[in-house]
């Protein structure tokens, strides 16, 4: 099932994305209490939310035109946004050079101020001159998770979406801590939808990233050094993961930072960035000052 977070009269509403259009769950007549926002559905969990949403899909007779929908970030109120760095070998080679991957993932954080929606904008930070893109698969947690094993991890995932880990490279590299270059306003576009974990095989995802229509990045989830269950398990041993928490899983090669110095075409106002995975869709944003 594909779920979207959208704005209706300025308020977040849960939508079901179908071939006929988008169902506004809050407008479906039902004797049962349906989750009407994305956060309600996530906190309810797949086991309870999906049967209700399937009934809502069967009952609905009204559909919104997807092209007219105003998207919100796929998850608008996560407690935590945790990110895996250098998690694809080719990306390590292009940005760091010779490097032996650690036995544990490299982790940094973003914050809620970084969230931006599909069809939204990324605002360049005025303290930076080197803005970059990073196409990523993102995981949405659906159950409280603490000290879970790798084998248990998938049962704690609500679904998968796409992210663009926008990075101010000069701010990122100004300190040994990456957060200054990763946590600027609008630096985490998230969407367009969440595909629930029962409908997707996390190990076969094909990820691409585009700048102004030009293919810049390409990778497969099987190429991750630390795969999705390993990331979820590791992070659950560092802090309790809550429903709605988001985990960015790393980016493949092709970022601007990895290009030769004379070819580093840092992001400019008007640039259009798209992250694509065929099972999830396209996450597109426009850069502005």
Q: How high is the mean pLDDT in each 10-residue block of the chain (289 residues)?
A: 96 97 96 95 96 95 96 98 91 68 91 98 98 98 98 98 98 94 98 97 97 97 96 98 98 95 96 98 98
**136 and 206 both lie in a single domain:** yes
| Residue 246 to residues 58, 91, 159, 261, 265, Cα–Cα distance (Å) | 29, 22, 10, 33, 29
CA dist 29 and 32 (Å) reads 9
pLDDT of res. 35: 97
**Residue 232 domain-assigned (yes or no):** yes
**58 and 86 both lie in a single domain:** no
**90 and 209 both lie in a single domain:** yes
**88 and 202 both lie in a single domain:** yes
Q: How many domains does the chain have?
A: 2
Looking up residue 152, the CATH number of its domain turns out to be 3.90.850.10
**61 and 93 both lie in a single domain:** no
**88 and 45 both lie in a single domain:** no
**58 and 182 both lie in a single domain:** no
**Residue 75 domain-assigned (yes or no):** no
CA dist 185 and 258 (Å) reads 24
**184 and 280 both lie in a single domain:** yes
Asked whether the beta carbons of 239 and 80 are under 8 A apart, the reply is yes
Strand partners, 190: 163
Host domain of residue 60: 2-68
Structure tokens at 277: 């995975």
How wide is the angle at C-alpha 162 spanned by C-alphas 78 and 255, nearest 5°?
115
CA dist 13 and 255 (Å) reads 34
pLDDT of res. 96: 67
**Residue 177 domain-assigned (yes or no):** yes
C-alpha of 229 from chain center: 16
Which of 68, 91, 118 is where one domain is finished? 68
pLDDT of res. 97: 67
Which of 39, 68, 97 is where one domain is finished? 68
**Residue 248 domain-assigned (yes or no):** yes
């Amino acid at each position: 099932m594909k779920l979207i977070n959208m704005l209706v009269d300025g308020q977040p509403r849960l939508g079901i994305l179908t071939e006929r259009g988008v169902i506004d769950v809050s407008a479906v007549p039902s004797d049962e209490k349906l989750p009407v926002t994305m956060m309600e559905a996530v906190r309810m969990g797949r086991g309870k939310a999906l049967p209700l949403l399937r009934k809502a899909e069967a009952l609905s007779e009204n559909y919104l035109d997807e092209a007219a929908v105003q998207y919100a970030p796929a998850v608008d109120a996560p407690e935590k946004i945790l990110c895996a760095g250098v998690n694809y070998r080719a990306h390590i080679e292009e940005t760091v050079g010779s490097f032996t991957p650690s036995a544990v993932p490299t982790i940094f954080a973003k914050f809620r101020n970084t969230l931006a929606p599909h069809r939204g904008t990324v605002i360049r930070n005025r303290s930076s001159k080197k803005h970059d893109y990073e196409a990523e698969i993102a995981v949405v947690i659906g159950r409280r998770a603490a000290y879970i094993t790798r084998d248990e991890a998938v049962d704690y995932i609500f679904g998968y979406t796409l992210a663009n880990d926008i990075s101010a490279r000069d701010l990122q590299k100004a300190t040994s801590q990456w957060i200054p270059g990763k946590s600027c306003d609008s630096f985490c576009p998230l969407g367009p939808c969440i595909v629930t974990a029962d409908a997707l095989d996390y190990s076969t995802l094909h990820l691409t990233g585009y700048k102004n229509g030009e293919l810049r990045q390409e990778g497969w989830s099987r190429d991750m050094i630390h795969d999705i269950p390993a990331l979820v398990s590791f992070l659950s041993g560092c802090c309790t993961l809550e429903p709605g928490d988001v985990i960015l899983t790393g980016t493949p090669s092709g970022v601007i930072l990895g290009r030769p110095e004379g070819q580093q075409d840092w992001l400019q106002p008007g640039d259009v960035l798209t992250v694509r995975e065929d099972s999830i869709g396209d996450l597109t944003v426009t850069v502005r000052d």
